[in-house]
Amino acid sequence: MRYLIDTNVCVKYLNGEPIALQRRLQATDLEDIAVCSTEIRPCSIAQQPTTTNH
């Protein structure tokens, strides 16, 4: 089975909760887990420093 996970699931996994999610993802082959690219782009944009010209 393939899983398309969103950013909320990624955050929960990285925070170590819930345990059932941790176990499910760790038991799943990496090839069966996907993150939507539209979910990744806003995160990378938000991390870029803003510059202002004065």
- The verdict on pTM exceeding 0.85 is no
Instruction: Provide the pLDDT for residue 52.
Output: 58
DSSP-assigned letters across all residues of the chain: --EEE-HHHHHHHHTT--HHHHHHHHTS-GGGEEE-HHHHHHHHHHHSPP----
Q: What's the pLDDT tens digit per position in 10-47?
A: 888 888 888 998 899 899 999 999 887 665 555 554 55
Distance, in Å, from the CA atom of 26 to the CA atom of 52, rounded to the nearest integer, reads 43
Contact between 53 and 47 (Cβ < 8 Å): no
Extents of the domains making up the chain: 3-47
